Amino acid sequence: MEKQFVIDDFKLGESWRLFKIMGEFVEGVESLHDLGPAVSIFGSARMQPDDPVYKQTEEIAALFAKNDFAVITGGGGGVMEAANKGASEAGGTSAGLNIRLPFEQKPNPYANVKVEFNYFFIRKVMFIKYAAAYIGMPGGFGTLDELFEVITLVQTHRIKPLPIILVGSEHWAGLKEWIESRLLTEKLVSEDNLDIFQILDDPEEIVDAVKKIVIL
């Protein structure tokens, strides 16, 4: 199996690996440059098809596809599979950006545009570069990593403001409360930073919130 700890491979004399990084960037750009307006949907890889979140993700992705948005996911199982499935079955463009991992991540069969990555950071650039909106379903550390990455980029004006919608008020309410009670109270973030993202539940309302900002 290929070495898992890819960052550790950057040693003296191994700078040739930068060409592999360049190659992944080129492949990503070549594969995704003509997607058109797209939304990135992210969430837990561990969500099962009988979970209400899985079914809700399918519905949201299908609605976006029917409203002429491509759907981008991490290409794996769980929420990613649900989003790719919903988009493809609704006749839309369903992109899966799979990451090579020794466990947990296997490509789902529903993406009709497939790109495979070895480096997380390149994959995250593609999620953001081609997204007109970010939709966060419930998830674990990877979901939080992607969420705070895009929030930070908007906060620091490294990317244009875009809709960042967290789906599921019951799931995300505690995080927002912690941000308000700790980060905001201790002046570690500004009050207007809380406007960078919003929490919604209804699929129709989610799609409408994106359409109000994104011009197709």
In a domain, 188, yes or no: yes
Number of domains forming the structure of the chain: 1
In a domain, 11, yes or no: no
Domain hosting residue 104, numbered range = 18-211
Among 104, 61, 59, which residue's Cα sits nearest to residue 84? 61
The backbone torsions φ and ψ at residue 28, rounded to the nearest 5 degrees and listed phi first, read: -60, -45
The backbone torsions φ and ψ at residue 199, rounded to the nearest 5 degrees and listed phi first, read: -115, 125
For residue 195, the 8-state DSSP code is G
- How many of the other CB atoms lie within 10 Å of CB of 109? 12
| 3-state SS string for 123-178 | HHHHHHHCCCEEEECCCCHHHHHHHHHHHHHHHCCCCCCCCEEEECHHHHHHHHHH
Find the farthest-apart pair of alpha carbons in the chain and give their distance in angstroms, rounded. Answer: 54
In a domain, 70, yes or no: yes
Give residue 100's pLDDT. Answer: 82
DSSP result, 36-94: -SEEEEE--TT--TTSHHHHHHHHHHHHHHHTT-EEEE-SSSTHHHHHHHHHHHTT--E
Give residue 105's pLDDT. Answer: 65
Give residue 6's pLDDT. Answer: 59
- Mind listing the pLDDT tens digit of every residue in the chain (216 residues)? 455 565 665 565 567 788 989 999 999 999 999 999 999 999 999 999 999 999 999 999 999 999 999 999 999 999 999 999 999 999 999 999 999 877 656 889 999 999 999 999 999 999 999 999 999 999 999 999 999 999 999 999 999 999 999 999 999 999 999 999 999 999 999 999 999 999 999 999 999 999 999 876
In a domain, 112, yes or no: yes
In a domain, 13, yes or no: no
In the sheet that holds 197-200, the strands lie side by side as 113-117, 94-99, 70-73, 38-42, 133-136, 164-167, 197-200
In a domain, 114, yes or no: yes
- Burial class (CB within 10 angstroms; exposed 0-12, middle 13-18, buried 19+) of 157: exposed
Tell me the CATH number at 115: 3.40.50.450
In a domain, 136, yes or no: yes
Can you tell me the distance from the alpha carbon of 184 to that of 14, in angstroms, rounded to the nearest whole number?
A: 44
Give residue 15's pLDDT. Answer: 75
In a domain, 6, yes or no: no
